[in-house]
Amino acid sequence: MKVLISDKLSEAGIEKLTHANGIQVDVKTGLSPSELKEIIGEYDGIIIRSATHLSEDVLEAARNLKVIGRAGIGLDNVDIPAATRKGIVVMNTPQGNNIAAAEHTISMMLAMARKIPQATASLKAGKWEKNRFMGVQVYHKILGIIGIGNIGGIVADRALGLKMRVIAYDPFISEEKAKEMGVELVSHLDDLFSRADFITVHTPLIKETRNLINKDAFEKMKDGVMIINCARGGIINERDLYDAIVSGKVAGAALDVFEVEPAKDNPLFDLDQVIVTPHLGASTREAQRNVASAIADQVIAFLLNRTIQNAVNVPAVSPEVMERIGPYLDLAENLGGFLAQVCTFRIEEVDIEFHGEMFEKDTEPIVLATLKGLLAPVMGDDVNFVNAKVMAQQRRIKVRETKVEDTGDYTTLIVLRIKGQDREESIWGTLFGKKEPRIVRYNDFIIEAIPQGEIILVENYDRPGVIGNIGMTLGKKGINIATMQFGRDKMGGQAISLLHLDAPLNDEIINELLTLPNLISVKPIRL
């Protein structure tokens, strides 16, 4: 497996990748989009920070790419929907640099409040301007946090330590959670704007948060408010911020991120009230070691062991969860693959029934594996774990998942039903022991077969001689039958046989089998 590191990454991560058996790593930084496009096709994985832009156009050329690893948090430089459509897992390291970013936010707030960068520049220029740099205290001031997730939460904790009062706006956080953090949650952003002495943003940059703080917002704020942005450029409208500072509404701004980066000739740099750093939020030795090491582990684990951590476009499957559900992923994929290869109608609905306590949680990956199995016989390698759901939606296939406590005769059971054009097929599967997959029922036939390998499904009338005839025909063609299982609805009624073969059947042999007496159909299945 080949992995490209296309942005500067701490040695801790490079070393891990270099020493991973089965991984070959190339470090090529500073590539232009066209240079990246030219080489990306060779790679199974790519590790980036914020400089590499993975647009739809670049991803189009990434024919082998399975995983994008972002050493850091923000993914605004990756076209995630395009990656998902192509079946590429996108993962980041949400915990690695959050303390660094929160500490930077607090540092920027205090530096702004006490005008430390301006005073440093003045003193170094040979001046002693004690009266010029009058600051404000943060003690008992109100800090308004917009977005109280990982970093916002740590900022709140540190600000409470400074004896600030913290209010927050975040529509996705419960009041209970906010209370636990010692924070007052406000239900309208305007409330936060009108009450806060300092305002800091910690949301992702998305459609809803672009220009979240603009001219209208500044008008609602207290006179002399101070603003901090250590999240993403674009959440605060820079033009409106400039005007609000010049008008005296905003007393100071501390910015680590900008609408255009690298930021050069930004008009805000001309204002004395503005202090800036060049996107340094995550720039601590600890954070860079953390994110590099974490993303290396995650990419290696995904490419070599299928475990998924911190993915943003597919459910997580940690090593512990994989240990537990791994065999069910294979079972589900093969149940899907089985039905897809025997079904003769267009699938409109998929029902997946999970029986047993084991399925109380973590069933989402099993659903994806089932859909992958169902779609792969038609779509081949274009469908995978990541895009299976999108592909099913695009084909207007309704997917329903139900959980049932009762397991009947089995400890666990997965029942897969597909429906379409007034027809239905179903298959039941379980594990014997902890790892041995078995089909235990196909439509109305009770059977016990391993869902793996070259199989033929024979439907026949339950009459003497049928199996003997099949064996003789295959024997004459030199095809060995490895195992055979039978099921029938009633004596003399209809029956099925599942035969595992040592070689696949061609059309000629299938047609010959179909001339045998009492045979209804012969369907080859490869799992």
**By C-alpha distance, which of 294, 234, 235 is closest to 97?**
294
By the rule CB under 6 A, 441 interacts with ligand MLT: no
* Footprint of ligand NAD on 396-455 (CB under 6 A): none
Angle at 120 between CA 114 and CA 126, to 5 degrees: 135
Tally the C-alpha atoms within 13 A of residue 72's C-alpha that lie toward its C-beta: 26
Among 86, 141, 279, 488, binds ligand NAD (CB under 6 A): 279
Which residue number is nearest to ligand NAD in terms of Cβ? 149
DSSP letter at 357 equals G
Binding status of residue 230 toward ligand NAD by CB under 6 A: yes
- Rounded CA-CA distance 347/353 in Å is 17
Question: In whole angstroms, how close is the CB of 453 to ligand MLT at the nearest point?
Answer: 46
Nearest residue (CB) to ligand MLT, 292 versus 376: 292
Q: Mutual orientation of helices 364-379 and 319-342 as an angle, nearest 10°?
A: 40
| Least separation in angstroms between CB 287 and ligand NAD | 8
As a whole number of angstroms, the distance between CA 239 and CA 267 comes to: 9
Whichever of 72 and 147 has its CB closer to ligand MLT, that residue is 72
Q: 50 contacts which partner out of ligand MLT, ligand NAD, none, CB within 5 to 8 A by kind?
A: ligand MLT
175 is annotated as an active-site residue = no
Cis peptide bond upstream of 262, omega within 30:
yes
463 counts as catalytic: no
Q: Which does 266 bind (CB under 5 to 8 A by kind): ligand NAD, ligand MLT, none?
A: none
Nearest to ligand NAD of 64, 187 (CB atom): 187
Listing DSSP states for 261-326 in one string gives SS--S-GGGG-TTEEE-SS-TT-SHHHHHHHHHHHHHHHHHHHHH--B-SBSSS--B-HHHHHHHH
- The residue count of the chain comes to 527
Asked if 509 touches ligand NAD (CB under 6 A), the answer is no
Phi, psi angles (nearest 5°) of residue 225 = -60, 150
Active-site pick, 49, 232, 355, 441: 232
Q: Cβ closer to ligand NAD: 128 or 172?
A: 172
Question: How far is Cα 48 from Cα 93, in angstroms, rounded to an integer?
Answer: 11
Which range, of 60-68, 69-77, 308-316, 385-393, touches ligand MLT by CB under 6 A? 69-77
Closer residue to ligand NAD, CB minimum distance, 238 or 330? 238
Active-site residue, 158 included: no
Exposed / middle / buried, residue 437 (Cβ in 10 Å: 0-12, 13-18, 19+):
buried
Neighbours of 182 (CB within 10 A): 12
CA distance 228 to 111: 11
234 binds ligand NAD (CB under 6 A): no
Q: Is 308 in the site for ligand NAD (CB under 6 A)?
A: no
Nearer to ligand MLT, 74 or 144 (CB): 74
Name the phi and psi angles at 223, rounded to 5.
-65, 140
How far apart CA 78 and CA 88 sit, in angstroms, is: 11
Q: With H, G, I as helix, E, B as strand and everything else as coil, classify residue 494.
A: strand
8-state DSSP, 129 = -
Catalytic residue among 15, 42, 184, 261: 261
Q: Does 201 interact with ligand MLT (rule: CB under 6 A)?
A: no
CA dist., res. 204 & res. 486, Å (int): 57
83 near ligand NAD (CB under 6 A): no
CA distance 41 to 45: 10
The stretch among 71-79, 122-130, 322-330, 391-399 that binds ligand MLT (CB under 6 A) is 71-79
| Residue nearer to ligand MLT on the CB measure, 6 or 97 | 97
User: Which of 86, 202, 438, 488 is the binder for ligand NAD (CB under 6 A)?
Assistant: 202
Which residues, 262 to 321, sit near ligand MLT by CB under 6 A?
A: 281-282
Q: Does 73 bind ligand MLT (CB under 6 A)?
A: yes
Contact mark string toward ligand NAD, 240..269, x via CB under 6 A: ----------------xx------------
| Tokens coding 453 | 């390998």
Q: Tell me, letter by letter, the H, E, C secondary structure of 158-205.
A: HHHHCCCEEEEECCCCCHHHHHHCCCEECCCHHHHHHHCCEEEECCCC
Pick from ligand NAD, ligand MLT, none: which does 202 bind, CB < 5 to 8 A by kind?
ligand NAD
Selecting among 49, 158, 279, 500, the annotated active-site residue is: 279
> Which range of residues in 177-185, 200-208, 216-224, 460-468 is near ligand NAD by CB under 6 A?
200-208
The reply on whether position 146 binds ligand NAD by CB under 6 A is yes
**Smallest distance from ligand NAD to CB 316, Å:** 15
Q: Which stretch binds ligand NAD (CB under 6 A): 110-118, 198-206, 313-321, 358-366?
A: 198-206
Residues near ligand NAD (CB under 6 A) are 73-74, 94, 97-98, 101, 146-152, 169-173, 202-205, 208-209, 230-232, 256-257, 279, 281-282
Question: Which residues are catalytically annotated?
Answer: 232, 261, 279
Residues near ligand MLT (CB under 6 A) are 49-50, 72-74, 97, 281-282
